[in-house]
Structure 1
């Protein structure tokens, strides 16, 4: 028998093909497994230099490998994916079987509204992940972890843009949920999002997760600070109440003495709850 070359043997070890036929042998399914951990940084998904993401692919992944998508904050006008590196690092360490995607999106500026631009960017990321599924060796099973404005975008995309119901769960850390909440306008006037143009109530509802969530929406976990100078407590309290009324699986944690972010014991508590929620629902 002819001896197989070392490169060929290596290829067999890296990519395993398993063919399973139906009863009438009319179909076959290819299952791909990749044994090596790898990463791709600043992968472009559009023509703007802000439209890039980093993807971290675990070893021993296959087409069932689930994907965590990280979405940074910054008031829709600032921030960068590097801000989510602490979440990336702890997820890589403690959820090592997951692929992690850390995204940038186009930032709003004078005359350039974040909506729907930034939601369209998330759609473009999802579409590219699907197009590269076999190349990356991942599933189409996604979850979002968003912080502040990134939490708002994660919630809204999941509730209103996920037409294929590919998102298994979504996490909001101090994310705005309802631009029509009078308490929110006491903190930040939502008209700033449109740079001086006062939006109608219907527009504010269109871009509010609170008004877009449905009974079929993905499980949601919420974290808020009772002393947050930017996000009133009602943004989390009312969102939790709406989720519960609709029968959407959810968890809500309010840290009464925390602001727009926290460290120490409460940060550990947040990760412990978030990790458990991910493992349960994703």
Structure 2
């Protein structure tokens, strides 16, 4: 069925330009709000205002001024100023910047070439701070060794940065206590296993607290109290569980029931009590562990139920009296709230995209099905807004990146854009995706292009068997690993899909492994375990690398790449384009010279998806619609794309 006139064609800029406002964070003292919003150049900048000014409708003050690309990571300092990370044209060499709200001055705290602040190392934060040491921040930096991050200390008042603590070799994460001592670290061993190392209260040598096999996961959550480590791990379990480990006795206590892998933990900012944990078998499910916290979560859950939304806790004040929340629905832009524990009331802040507030969007359904070998699978279907019973639609199989990541329920621009154009969208959490259980994760080991790929085919067949799909029109689209999946779709199964769109996807798994960023070396043994070793598994890696099957491509293919991508190098796209040309095939190749692993410039983002919209519409039948005036080889004003068309 064609899209009725009652469903407006939503402009691409509404989906892929930046939101009106997003990512709010309450200040530590609870008096102010910081959030991201477009600046004059339309890229995301940090804005700040007092809550009183916000409530009275006064404009916020823009406190960052990057010229072209979005700011993606920021946080409050405990003394009420702003820290943010920014790289150069997507190269992921992130510098740490400090903004004094009193003076408006912005200072680059890490003005060093070729280094990066790694926000994943210190409890998933860019900077760690302690109430006992005001004006001081700790962060991870690879200044002395490009392959290795250590902990550095900065004094905000002076901007002075110095080495604070050397982490063990191959450490990829660490936990710091209130006295600024590194108390735990996770290290990747050369054989693909990992170990949890801790330091006791006497801060003597490192002690192994737990060893994890190649099938296990460990992640550090933080320090609770004086000497209790919070850790999520799957050692001895089929799911990732939350546990506490006494740093002196190494005694371990499991804290939460096992459902699926732990996805989030809410800890009281002032008391360190573990309040709740979140699992996500398809919809976010919070389990409250603290009786005093139950009434607060009940109030939040009630509000979320009214919106058919999942709950995300973004941050909280130092005394934990006020939380910043995101309520994430499938068919509406994210809504942000403050939750005030004193009154047990939610205070609405804003929605992410006012232009989408009153237009019909597609319903999102969490679905469960089985792969051909019986492995349980979960995914999401996004329906066109005009979907009616017994209707069939052209399908876009939208494959997430990672692959050690997952899709979640909630509003997402790409599936809603596609739904608005008339597509049904399937997002499968194929084997190898994280967040479910050990069996689901490890079933994907060394299965790139094999069982991981047949899972994608099975996801399509599931939707077909439900009677939802016009089988003659099925596209595969994805970024990073999803881009690899798109390339695999048109090479390993050359006639299964109607067409394919690859966004920064690798074409040769050996060259991918050989060119990872130097500071990812700690993960290399894990990559070999999960993907295959370039020497021991050479034939396997070649057999599933799309580059070596370029001669089999018979379906239309669009490839896009950022020239500065440090993860999937430009050569990954260049080499398969060259191979397609050498075999007399056809491909459209779009290169963005000022981008990395995805599009950080809103102009480039709008430009790419305009090209993808035209490309898909050429091949996906007459049920879909396309914005008038767009072409694949014509750029949106200000976009940097270089388009090359090979063949016909």
State the TM-score, normalized to the length of structure 2.
Answer: 0.34
The answer (yes or no) to whether the contact 2:477–2:486 under 8 Å persists in 1 is: yes
Are 1:142 and 2:466 matched, yes or no? no
Distance 1:259 1:171, change over 3 A: same
The answer (yes or no) to whether the contact 2:362–2:416 under 8 Å persists in 1 is: no
Match of 1:105 in 2: 430
Match of 1:200 in 2: 537
Question: RMSD between aligned alpha carbons?
Answer: 3.0
Match of 2:506 in 1: 176
Are 1:73 and 2:401 matched, yes or no? yes
The Cα shift of 1:236 comes to: 0.7
The Cα shift of 1:272 comes to: 1.2
The Cα shift of 1:218 comes to: 1.3
Are 1:266 and 2:594 matched, yes or no? no
Map Cα deviations across residues 5-45 of structure 1 (whole Å, 9 max, x no partner): xxxxxxxxxxxxxxxxxxxxxxxxxxxxxxxx974611112
| Alignment equivalent of 1:119, drawn from 446, 449, 453 | 453
> Quick one: distance in 1 between partners of 2:375 and 2:477?
23
Deviates more, 1:105-114 or 1:115-124: 105-114
> Per chain length, whose mean CA-contact separation is higher, i.e. which structure has more relative contact order (CA < 8 Å, sep 6+)?
1
Are 1:43 and 2:378 matched, yes or no? no
The Cα shift of 1:276 comes to: 1.1
The 3-state SS of whatever aligns with 1:67 is strand
> Quick one: distance in 1 between partners of 2:614 and 2:410?
23
Distance 1:81 1:106, change over 3 A: farther
Are 1:90 and 2:412 matched, yes or no? no
Gaps spanning 5+ residues in structure 2: where? 1-360, 434-440, 518-523, 621-648
The Cα shift of 1:157 comes to: 2.7
The Cα shift of 1:85 comes to: 2.0
> Quick one: distance in 1 between partners of 2:407 and 2:425?
16
Distance 1:84 1:147, change over 3 A: farther
> Quick one: distance in 1 between partners of 2:507 and 2:404?
17
Structure ID, larger Rg: 2
> Quick one: distance in 2 between partners of 1:159 and 1:145?
14
Higher strand proportion, which one? Answer: 2
Distance 1:196 1:84, change over 3 A: same
Q: How many residues align?
A: 238
Gaps spanning 5+ residues in structure 1: where? 1-36
The 3-state SS of whatever aligns with 1:100 is strand
Match of 1:280 in 2: 618
Report matched runs for 1:243-262 at 5 Å.
Answer: 243-262=580-599
The answer (yes or no) to whether the contact 2:399–2:477 under 8 Å persists in 1 is: yes
Distance 1:56 1:250, change over 3 A: same
The 3-state SS of whatever aligns with 1:213 is helix
Distance 1:256 1:268, change over 3 A: same
> Quick one: distance in 2 between partners of 1:253 and 1:89?
23
| Alignment equivalent of 2:484, drawn from 129, 137, 152 | 152
> Quick one: distance in 1 between partners of 2:480 and 2:503?
6
Deviates more, 1:184-193 or 1:268-277: 184-193
State the TM-score, normalized to the length of structure 1.
Answer: 0.73
Distance 1:275 1:222, change over 3 A: same
